[in-house]
Chain A
């Protein structure tokens, strides 16, 4: 086995004391950066990039990847503890992570997230090791039509189910999609929906602004109002026994986790798609194939495990096109690519042949980073859980400050902070009126990808709308999307449709 020998050489590099220290440092830093609402792997990598000139290139890229990994683990922490997704990849984690935290099971949810991340990361690193080079061509086969079909599929795995008020769900999806069109229209190069001439809207409305507003500020306002009538959030506690129990519970989720890992790896590998659709699809599939779909969204541990395996698997997957083709699938991998170029390494098809020590050193460091991340994460869980036990007013004040600063930090605009406050109040009112907020946030995340690839395809195909089904890959995805949409509907109509429709009208 050629691969194994190369990997062994790689471990010789990544297990050197300097590189081990770098991995530990990077993972810890990434964990805290990722746990901060508003900051994610992009910020971590961007900040450390200039420092990496000091160490040799292989150590530098190991540091960047360790931060990337740490931030992916950390994203789940704010999703679970505060209900604010720290990055778009962690949105799906809030759906069940937040309810678990409110039931006092924050520790369990955090353990599930850490273990699931580890499994997802490890399975995808193994896949990466074995198939990196042959799979590169698959990524190239993805054009705009396939991108559109894939995003559509991610969407329908979600929208097909859902027991909320149908009209209100439609309103929220449309609102999210409309908000996602704010800014510059790529195709015509013209600004649109900039509401008069506010320069702050030129760059569009970022996912983080909406998520921090709606889930951060909106949630706090909602809790303030309901804290008198409804019982307080159950205080979380964690013991060593919980930890062991938690890991044991995870043993029952192999099906969900392996599905999430494979799905995450393959979707993450496709440039432009990345970890967010992967996590959403994993969650949607876990819910629709579960025996108790109704328990999802109310604190089902599988609802945390599925997206967390998928988003970590996807973050490894997205390194694949970056290394083998030189195509970054996300802003973070684009920065990693930039880093490699700075050190005189040329990612692309020749990298595996010309720089084997570097490539295999990097791949082996993904294994060590994964181990380090899960160990550090689990060790820190008691600290995070303890933080939740603060009096409610103290927690509120601190979270509000974090929302303001975290909203400002990514693009450094006060405009975004005002938007967060506005979305917070609007989200609070909408939530009170029983409008579901998750479709709004999802539509904003997936909207830009969908519209862009839809219009690119139509331009390239001279307006032929059947192009989407004529191409084999995209045709398959469209068929799957239709299936995901129709299946729950059929299920719903067949059993007890009459029963559940009656009280709504």
Chain B
């Protein structure tokens, strides 16, 4: 727990420094000409406060005793990582093969392989989700989802529903 707390505090400090570096692209001081602070002032000084506070968290943690509680539950951590990887793979696939292939694949993976549900439930949801998405988002709300290479498949559908 304590180690994780320190690692996160250091990460926030690094992030703050990174923000400060980007913020200096615009003036960070009080601009006498126009009155009021420059464009970089808010991000810069707020990041500095963030940096100092995270430093405070780090210093505070140094004085604390090591607790027996673990930050991660090692067994469940594996499931979390599996889900995160699946999520990232799905998002990466969307522009390539389209939302109508990537999302059902994700649902199939989650229900059948990860969740160990039956074929019937998996099948209904895997096939039902894209149908629902198409009718709710595209046919009704006219919000087009990315299709990637499956685009030409949708031409007849467009002709039918628009």
Contacts and interface: CB of A to CB of B under 8 A. Distances in A.
Overall SS of chain A's interface: helix
A391 B121 CA distance: 11
Contact of B115 (A193, A226, A397): A397
A455 B31 CA distance: 11
Nearest to B129: A401
Given A178-B47, A393-B115, A405 B133 contact: yes
A398 B22 CA distance: 38
B29 interface: no
Interface string A425-456: 10011101101000000000000000100110
A238 interface: no
A421 interface: yes
B71 A404 contact: no
A174 B142 contact: no
A459 B125 contact: no
A228 B77 CA distance: 11
B47 A404 contact: no
A185 B143 contact: no
B36 interface: yes
Contacts of A408: 99, 145-146
Contacts of A393: 110-111, 114-115, 117
A170 B141 CA distance: 40
Interface stretch (A130-138, A295-303, A410-418): A410-418
B43 A461 contact: no
Nearest to B44: A178
Interface residues of A, number: 66
Contact of B79 (A187, A225, A464): A225
Interface string B55-98: 01100100000000001110111011001100110110011000
Given A391-B117, A394-B121, A461-B35, A168 B57 contact: yes
Contact of A455 (B37, B87, B111): B37
A457 B34 CA distance: 11
B110 A181 contact: no
A500 B115 CA distance: 43
B46 A178 contact: yes
A401 B106 contact: yes
A414 B92 CA distance: 9
A428 B87 CA distance: 14
A404 B103 contact: yes
Interface residues of B, number: 67
B8 interface: yes
**Which of B19, B95, B117 has the most chain A CB within a 10 Å cutoff?**
B19
A228 B73 contact: yes
**Which of A226, A429, A455 has the most chain B CB within a 10 Å cutoff?**
A455
**Which of B56, B91, B99 has the most chain A CB within a 10 Å cutoff?**
B91
A174 B50 contact: yes
Given A178-B50, A404-B90, A451 B42 contact: yes
B43 A178 contact: yes
A323 interface: no
Given A178-B47, A397-B110, A432-B4, 16 more contacts: A39-B141, A174-B49, A174-B50, A174-B53, A193-B22, A227-B76, A228-B73, A391-B115, A394-B111, A401-B133, A408-B146, A433-B71, A454-B36, A458-B36, A463-B30, A463-B35
Interface of B: 4-5, 8, 12, 19, 22-23, 25-26, 30, 32, 34-40, 42-43, 46-47, 49-50, 53-54, 56-57, 60, 71-73, 75-77, 79-80, 83-84, 87-88, 90-91, 94-95, 99, 103, 106-107, 110-111, 114-115, 117, 121, 125, 129, 133, 136-137, 140-146
